[in-house]
Amino acid sequence: MFEELKASIIAGDQEKATGLTTKMLNDGIGPQKILKEGLVPGMDVVGEKFRSYEMWLPEVILSAKAMKASTELLKPYWDQNGGGETLGKIVIATVEGDVHDIGKNLVSMMLESAGFEMTDLGVNVKIQAIIDAANRVDADLIGLSALLTTTMLAMKSAIKAIRGSGSKAKVMVGGSPITQEYASEIESDGFAPDALRAITLAKKLVGKS
Residue 121 touching ligand B12 (CB under 6 A): no
Nearest one of 51, 53, 48 to 6, comparing CA atoms: 48
Q: How far is CA 111 from the centre of its chain?
A: 10
Residue 107 touching ligand B12 (CB under 6 A): yes
Site for ligand B12 in 53-82 (CB under 6 A): 57, 60-61, 64
51, 82, 166, 207: residue in contact with ligand B12 (rule CB under 6 A): 51
Cα separation, 145 vs 171, whole angstroms: 11
Q: Which is nearer to ligand B12, 26 or 191 (CB)?
A: 191
Stretch touching ligand B12 by CB under 6 A, among 6-14, 25-33, 159-167, 192-200? 192-200
Cα separation, 14 vs 31, whole angstroms: 18
What is the strand order of the sheet 170-174 is part of? 117-120, 89-94, 141-145, 170-174, 190-191
Contacting positions for ligand B12 (CB under 6 A): 40, 43, 46-47, 50-51, 57, 60-61, 64, 97-104, 106-107, 143-145, 147-149, 172-177, 192, 194-195, 198
